[in-house]
Structure 1
Amino acid sequence: MGLNIRKGLFMIMFVSLLFAVACSSDTSDNNTNNEQEAGGTLNIAVDASPPSLDQPTSTATNARDTSRLIFESLVTTDSEFSPVPMLAESIETEDNQTFTFHLRQGILFHNGEEMIAEDVIASMERWLEKSSITGNIFNGATWTAEDDYTVVLELQSPSALVLDTIATSKQGAAIMPKEIVDSAPAEGVTEYIGTGPYKFVEWQQDNYIKFEKYEDYQPLDMEPDGLAGKREALVDEIYFHIVTDPSTRLTGLQTGEYDFVYGVPLDNYEQLQNDPNLETILEPEANNLLGLNNVEGPASDFKLRQAINTALDAETIMMAGYPNEDFYWLDSGYMDVHIANWASTAGSEYYNQNDMEKAKQLLEESEYDGEEFTIITTRDYFYLYNIGVVIQEQLKQLGMNVKLEVYDWPTMLDLRDNKLSEWDGFITSSTTVSTPPQLLVLSSSWAGGVNDDFVGEAMKAIETAPTIEEAHDLWDDLQLYVWEELLPAVQLGGNSTLYGSSSKVQGIETTSGPIFWNVTVSE
């Protein structure tokens, strides 16, 4: 979408027109069903415990999907990943440098206090401090209050990507009460209080997380579209059960213990499709990658990273994780190919080379001398483990001494981000983002960070480009550089996530993961 169109979308009088065109007849039918069947409990089985529900601090998808029941942001995304107001009633900007957010009035936090400008300012300043995806756009930015319901963001330089970044669901810009922000310890908030349709009730570690309908929630009177529009808490309670074993999750879905499950083994896809009581949901979700330790250890040698990238057979690796071509795709882009505006083929000649002879020559030219090369992964996500096993085998064929260490997901995240000396590579999937500056793999803080002057300057240029078209050209240049000169990770390919649902569940939609408001469960 061009810059001028974006400006038009966010002028103060646009809101009612924007939402009036949002939703399909299918959604309308679901809403009708929802009105008739509201109430009850929705039981969801997830494949791993989130590391936290503190939305701005966690990159984990299960943290994203659970915490957004609690927290909302000034701006969110519709089904096309375009930014749309949520807690802001309207937004004004003339120059992409000064943004005036007119807040919705009468919005209550789960503690009964009204959301006002001081809460928004404290939350947004904390988001800028804690989130890894804000990039250079907000360097030196100031947030001020004109009154209790008007907040002004002033940037040092214009950017056409401001609203896209605030709207992202990854490490979302959650609005919390000021007192919660002010009292939060360095490791993250411990009281989960937001404005969302559900409020946090209880977290029994490794057992379940419970949410309850927030009776004083104020939904938008607009058609739902992606994460935008009307959100209704139609079931009374939502449980996220922590069930790490995939067969247990599947059996629970079949017996009715669970209404919706994450991480359905792809081998069971046809089985679920043939069961009249169950439904399958397949959603493009993420890019898979082998992250490499650029900071210390053997992978800090670029020549070794080149050798690893040259050796790996991406198709065999992806097939190990996703044993059906319906579930994965091969692509060299750092941005998800489904985000059409940013999809790029720059550097594709370096992708999936699968050239062991050339890789062995690069290995000889590197400083690697046979020391143990540790890759960390997890069984909590079966596909990440399977990918790790095949990568280990391929790198052994290259001549490397590779050790695969397996941890539960929260422990792996802690090692990845805080204990760089204990790993050389890690297996992960990077969920879809809407602009390149949100890419964690190219950030300066994630997993040791990419501390490269060219990357930093290029990202800044993308963020401050006067037009989207110029930003796209800059992104092509940067992606080529990353492939040729940096290789912070080996891109493997993209994947869809398979969810299983009982046919009793109505209204499930997916945008950056499943959405559990506007959902009912029939008896």
Structure 2
Amino acid sequence: MKLTKRFKLIAVLLIPLLLIACGSKNESESKDENEKSEKQELKVALSAQPNTFDPLMNTAVVAGYVSGNIFETLLTLDSKGKPVPMLAESVESSEDGKTHTFKLRQNVKFHNGEEMTADDVVASMNRWAEKNKKAKDQFGEIMFEAEDDYTVTMVIKEYALDIWDLLAGRSQYAAIMPKEVVEAEEAVGVTEYIGTGPYKFVEHKTDQYVHLEKFDEYVMSDEPADGLAGKKEATIDDIYFYFVTDPSTRTAGIQTGEYDIIDNVPYENYEQLNSDSALNTYVSLTGDLMFWYNKRNGLLSDPKMRQAVNTVIDNEEIMEAAFNIEDLYNLDPGYMSADIENWASDAGFEAYNQGDVEKAKQLLEEAGYNGDPITVITSRDYQYYYDSAVVLQEQLKEIGIEVNLENYDWATYLEKLEEDNIWDIAISGASYQTTPSQLLVLQSSWAGWTDDPKITELLSNIRKSDNQDEAKLLWDELQEFLWLEYVPGTPVGGFSSIFASTDRVQEFNLYPNPVGPTWWDIRLAEE
């Protein structure tokens, strides 16, 4: 209530009015308190604490869980991992595929209340083109320019089909921010987290939490909700992401109701939480357990030796030993995830999960194997990596290969991975990608040092394809070559991320990587 009465009023009239005003004020405050208590709040425990929520300065998955609510991109991924428009309304390409014109959605608001225009997009995208490693490696110089307030052009030197996956990708993703925020960037990245997403940044308390608040002026897409794309109807007022690095503390917190959702549930706790009627568990494929083969030096630089190793591998036995529960893994011969529909392939499937001892021995003989041991490195910091190494060691013994199994802490393992003369097989994981050109196992600079002219040629032709159908046929050809001849590494099987929630959470969507969980569409029980 506004106190607009004139001071001329005599005291007899003024005192009652003041009492009425005070009463109205108290009632208003009480109403505000009631409204505040009715606001829905979500508490999430994350397994790691990012040092920044600037997408270009931190590739950690948990950083994306937070920043993906704040920032949006020109293109994004639908539930099947396909690139689709988000802040862009449409995209048109020139005949030579070098110039691409984005029509922007209009009246989209930043969290500071300003409208997003082409100047903001150009500043954000040129920053992305400069800092995103994949963009620089695969496309070189990429330039964005504003044509008018709602039109942006992108110019690339050579067309490649995977430019769209790169623009929509979730690693060092192309977040759109206000121009002034980009221009104020410091060495550590941007210091203000202002985007167009359904939630706005409130505060980050180091070693405690980050707080996001529903953005009431959020302008939704007209398209149906689909993965990271389409409508984002935020239903929760406040989200708190707590940093709880100890897995037992997270597990205890979900059981007591201290947290509504936790990520990275330890595999050994899955059955316990899954059997608790007061909890829900969610399993989503994250990536492949990988055996990386050293093709630069040592015994496995011979393709016949790699074929022999791959031939004796019983993938199912290894995945069962590493993950124990069928819900937590799958067997699939695709180097690309079967959930990425554009690239899902079973070409060369006959070379997957063979477990053929006699054929493997024959290949060893053809390779002229002399009985020297091979070295396998892994890390017990991830028990499933180590457990799979132990089973592999036993399988290789069956064909007469002795294995020196070396276990390192994770930091040391990553250092050893870069050395090309101390190991023959390295065991760890590989996250799912949206295009074959992004697969680490095919990178000459990545552990294993893949280097073959046929791979280079086919990858180049895939990227230069006129359409997805043509590219898919070339990928089938390349995957068959990988399995039957070159064997850069063995994708043993897909393994999962596990989330858990209390029964207060009525709906929580968790998609296979690289899409992952969505937070704006969570539904909570009425309280």
**TM-score of the superposed pair, with normalisation by structure 2:** 0.77
Matches within 5 A, 1:177-192: 189=189, 191=191
- Structure 2: distance between partners of 1:216 and 1:292: 52
Structure 1 pair 412–39 and aligned structure 2 pair: CA distance change class (3 A): farther
Q: Is 1:340 aligned with 2:332?
A: no
Report the equivalent of 2:405. Answer: 402
Letter in 2 for 1:334: Y
Structure 1 pair 221–331 and aligned structure 2 pair: CA distance change class (3 A): closer
Report the equivalent of 1:16. Answer: none
Structure 1 pair 329–417 and aligned structure 2 pair: CA distance change class (3 A): same
Letter in 2 for 1:74: L
Report the equivalent of 1:287. Answer: 288
Letter in 2 for 1:470: E
Gaps of at least 5 residues in structure 1 are 1-34
Matches within 5 A, 1:244-255: 244-245=246-247, 247-255=248-256
Q: Is 1:386 aligned with 2:399?
A: no
Report the equivalent of 2:78. Answer: 78
Moved more, 47-56 or 77-86: 47-56
Matches within 5 A, 1:86-485: 86-93=86-93, 95=95, 96-105=97-106, 107=108, 115-131=116-132, 138-139=139-140, 141-176=142-177, 189=189, 191=191, 193-195=193-195, 196=197, 197-199=199-201, 201-202=203-204, 204=206, 207-213=207-213, 215=215, 218-222=218-222, 223-231=224-232, 232=234, 234-245=236-247, 247-266=248-267, 268-269=269-270, 271-295=272-296, 300=301, 302-356=303-357, 358-359=359-360, 365=367, 370=372, 373-377=375-379, 379=381, 381-395=382-396, 398-407=401-410, 411=411, 415=415, 425-447=425-447, 450-485=450-485
Moved more, 216-225 or 248-257: 216-225
Structure 1 pair 194–352 and aligned structure 2 pair: CA distance change class (3 A): farther
Is the 8 Å Cα contact of residues 360 and 399 (structure 1) preserved in structure 2? no
Structure 1 pair 154–198 and aligned structure 2 pair: CA distance change class (3 A): same
Task: State the number of aligned residues.
Answer: 481
- Structure 2: distance between partners of 1:89 and 1:112: 21
Letter in 1 for 2:256: T
- Structure 2: distance between partners of 1:184 and 1:421: 41
RMSD, matched Cα: 3.9
- Structure 2: distance between partners of 1:271 and 1:354: 33
Q: Percent identity?
A: 40
Residues 297-342 of structure 1 show CA distances to partners (whole Å, capped at 9, x for unaligned) of 6655545533432332211111123222233221111111233342
Residues 437-460 of structure 1 show CA distances to partners (whole Å, capped at 9, x for unaligned) of 333332455447544433232222
* SS of corresponding position for 2:521: coil
Q: CA deviation at 1:75?
A: 0.8
Q: CA deviation at 1:514?
A: 1.3
Letter in 1 for 2:468: I
Letter in 2 for 1:492: V
Report the equivalent of 1:29. Answer: none
Is the 8 Å Cα contact of residues 76 and 83 (structure 1) preserved in structure 2? yes
Letter in 1 for 2:240: I
Which of 512, 517, 524 is the matching residue for 1:514? 517
* SS of corresponding position for 1:508: strand
* SS of corresponding position for 1:230: coil
- Structure 2: distance between partners of 1:128 and 1:368: 50
Gaps of at least 5 residues in structure 2 are 1-34
Structure 1 pair 329–448 and aligned structure 2 pair: CA distance change class (3 A): closer
| Greater relative CO (CA pairs within 8 A, separation 6+) | 1
* SS of corresponding position for 1:427: strand
* SS of corresponding position for 1:516: strand
Moved more, 340-349 or 350-359: 350-359
Q: CA deviation at 1:346?
A: 1.8
- Structure 1: distance between partners of 2:182 and 2:371: 49
Q: Which has the larger radius of gyration?
A: 2
Matches within 5 A, 1:43-58: 43-49=43-49, 53-56=53-56
Is the 8 Å Cα contact of residues 375 and 427 (structure 1) preserved in structure 2? yes
Is the 8 Å Cα contact of residues 51 and 60 (structure 1) preserved in structure 2? no
Residues 402-453 of structure 1 show CA distances to partners (whole Å, capped at 9, x for unaligned) of 212232xxx3795378666776544333333333233333245544754443
- Structure 2: distance between partners of 1:172 and 1:412: 28
Q: CA deviation at 1:78?
A: 2.1
**TM-score of the superposed pair, with normalisation by structure 1:** 0.77
Letter in 2 for 1:375: I
- Structure 1: distance between partners of 2:61 and 2:369: 36
